[in-house]
Amino acid sequence: METFEQVWETSRVNDYSWVYPCVVWSGIALLILLSLIRRTVLRRSAKLIAIIGLTIFATHSSAVEIQEKWRIRGQWADLHSDQMSESDMNALMADGANLLIGPFFNGFVAMLIFSVVALSLLVIRLIVVRFCTRKCSATETDDLVTSTGTPIESGNPYQPPV
């Protein structure tokens, strides 16, 4: 027979424990996919909508997980009230704030994760775009004129003279 402490610890992992991490990881993957959109306004608005929606979904999934944890603990306490000590009963009552604060905290953490990922992807995109434009513009000008300002002769007989 399980004790209250064992039920307390085993209820931390329940049927809904996988949902919150799944939302966070799939949200990161979605933000990476949204970074492939070419239009700036569409890309940024889609990321903003995704961050808001995923934050709400992460908060909800965290709330469901915490409610299930407390349902398991309360159900066990109701069935085994003779095994409950005064401190166990107080633990059930005193930590009830977890039902309210826990989901908001986890939602805030998810929002921070999504925002940091979106900003990191923006910085990576800016670096790649600047690198490509510098490299492309440098190769175009190098092909036309040397550093002394004289045209480059390719030696190709099919190229018209400059």
Is 137's pLDDT higher than 70?
A: no
Taking the C-alpha atoms of residue 129 and residue 135, their distance in angstroms, rounded to an integer, is: 10
Q: What is the pTM (predicted TM-score) of this model?
A: 0.74
CA nearest 84: which of 11, 4, 158, 1? 4
Please give the mean pLDDT across all residues of the chain.
84
Q: For residue 151, report the phi and psi dihedrals to the nearest 5 degrees.
A: -65, 150
- Number of residues assigned to the chain: 162
Which pLDDT tens digit goes with each residue over 75-129?
Answer: 888 888 888 888 877 777 756 677 889 999 999 999 999 999 999 999 999 999 8
Where does residue 68 rank: exposed (0-12), middle (13-18), buried (19+ CB within 10 A)? middle
- Residue 152 — very low, low, confident or very high, per pLDDT cuts 50/70/90? low
